[in-house]
Amino acid sequence: MTFKTYITALIFLISFAGLSQKVWTLDECVAYAIEHNLQVKNTSYTKDSGKETYRQSIRNLLPRINGSTSYTVQFGRSEDPNTNDFVNTEFFRNNYSLGTNLEVFQGFQKLNSIKASKFIYKATQEDVLQEKFLLAFRVMSAYYDIKFYEGLVTNSLEQQEISQSNYDLVERQVDLGMMAGADLYEAESNLLGDKLLVTQNKNLLAIAKLTLLQEMNLNEENDITLQPSLDAAEEISNQEIEVDSLYNVARGFVPIVKSQEFRVNAAKKQLHSIRGGLYPSLSLIAGIGTSYFETNVDDNGNIIPFRTQLKDNTSKFVGAELSIPISNGWSNRSRVKQQKIAYLQAKNNLEIQEQELFQLLQQLVQTNRALEDEFEQSKQKVQAQELAFAIAQKRYEKGLINALDLFQAKNLFGVAQNENLQVGLRLKVNKSTIDFYNGLPIFNIN
């Protein structure tokens, strides 16, 4: 293989590796995180448990059927179950029985338990959705943190390039005797400072990427490439956002509020179920039993065959049981009081969730107004600092200002760019959050 062929193959492999690098969009990051997040899985297991509890509460309406059997060997002096006489003979016996119990009335306890477990199951479904939304917001925050630090790296590289150009200019002028050696030291100091800033921003970018990888549970990767940089600048909407209308929309679908609402309904049905324990209960019972005794013999002293005894000793019964709670140490009424407190607490927790949601929306709307103003002002500041730096650059090239003045103007321009980038991305995240609470599909959760 010639050297030229080797270089061509190497370039091809490098290009192929670069093309094979997956580029992640926000929706893809969110979808991957939801699929692989352990906390989401844990919440899903809780939901599955609630589903099974609900199904079992329905199955509890079925009659209870139980069978039993026993094999007993008796030694020494014992009572003959066939003649009721005491004998000193070793013998064995078998008993078989099958019984059923159907609860006809229990103060509607089981029906209310079914409704309560159904509400709990619905609440756990909302809990899963809430966990997904929380994860999606964390992923979005980490995603835009990366975008911010990518912007910082880009800005700092531009500043480094400017410092490098100034250093090269000063170096040429020093060689020509038009500038003193001290000017070259100042230009070098500015260049080294910008190189350090580039390194620091790259380190911050690496930490931001690690945060996103951890949120996504993408453990097999140590780097991630996102969709090409999004423009943080957006058109400022003049449409006023009303907190009340935003709350009315969010109140109808936010999972954490709906979950607590279902828990209030569940607590109410549980209260009704426990109150049912104060009423009499009625059950229907039925059963069949038979037995075999080794001492059961015929007139000739022969043991009656097993099959014959099972048939002859069969007994059946049907009946009804009425249970009237009179006094259990006041425990039933105490349980009712405790559950009533739990119901009131659930209602209070719902009001807390509603209050927190309203306050959150107030903060989002207020923050959005503030960020819109800051964003407009930061854009104007960037334009002003860019113009000031361009003037300072020309004056520096003509020897009218020193390197320190130029460095200050350049830094002010860089700070203005970073502020504009940060405010723009914060505004984008804040608007996306408001859109979410306004019912818009900003996340592909499912």
| Confidence bin at 231 (pLDDT 50/70/90) | low
Strands 315-323 and 281-293: antiparallel
Mean pLDDT, rounded, for 69-93: 72
* Residue found by looking up tokens 């107004």 in the block: 369
- Residues 270-281: tens digit of each pLDDT: 999 999 888 888
Average confidence (pLDDT) over 251-256: 94
For the stretch 30-60, what's the b/e string if a residue is b when 16 or more beta carbons lie within 10 angstroms of its beta carbon? bbbbbeebeebeebbeebeebbebbeebeee
Higher pLDDT, 62 or 15: 62
Mean pLDDT of 370-386: 92
Tell the residue number behind the tokens 């999972």, with chain if given.
255
Q: What confidence score (pLDDT) does residue 111 get?
A: 92
Check residue 119 and give its pLDDT: 97
* Contact by Cβ (8 Å): 394, 267: no
Distances from the Cα of 105 to the Cα of 287, 321, 323, 324, 446, angstroms: 20, 11, 10, 12, 43
3-state SS, the chain, equals CCHHHHHHHHHHHHHHHHHHCCEECHHHHHHHHHHHCHHHHHHHHHHHHHHHHHHHHHHCCCCEEEEEEEEEEECCCEECCCCCCEECCCEEEEEEEEEEEEEEECCCHHHHHHHHHHHHHHHHHHHHHHHHHHHHHHHHHHHHHHHHHHHHHHHHHHHHHHHHHHHHHHHHHHHCCCCCHHHHHHHHHHHHHHHHHHHHHHHHHHHHHHHHHHHHCCCCCCCCEECCCCCCCCCCCCCCCCHHHHHHHHHCCCHHHHHHHHHHHHHHHHHHHHHHHHCCEEEEEEEEEEEEECCCECCCCCECCHHHHHHHCCEEEEEEEEECCCCCCCHHHHHHHHHHHHHHHHHHHHHHHHHHHHHHHHHHHHHHHHHHHHHHHHHHHHHHHHHHHHHHHHHHHCCCCCHHHHHHHHHHHHHHHHHHHHHHHHHHHHHHHHHHHCCCCCCCCC
CA distance 285 to 325: 19
Residue 292 contacts residue 310 (beta carbons within 8 Å): yes
Of 124-128, 316-320, 324-328, the poorest mean pLDDT is in: 324-328
Q: What is the pLDDT of residue 426?
A: 92
Phi and psi, residue 96, nearest 5°: -135, 140
Of the candidates 253, 300, 288, 297, the residue with the CA atom closest to the CA atom of residue 125:
253
Which pLDDT value is given to residue 128? 96
Mean pLDDT for the stretch of residues 47-70: 92
* Token reading at 445: 């959760």
Question: How many Cα atoms are found within 13 Å in the side-chain-facing hemisphere of 120?
Answer: 21
Residues 343 and 337: their CA atoms lie apart, in Å, by 10
The pLDDT of residue 148 is 92
* Domains identified in the chain and CATH numbers: 65-105+281-324 (2.20.200)
Q: For 217, left (φ over 0), alpha (ψ -120 to 50), or beta?
A: left
Residue 10: predicted pLDDT: 41
Give the other-Cβ count within 10 Å of 87's Cβ.
Answer: 15
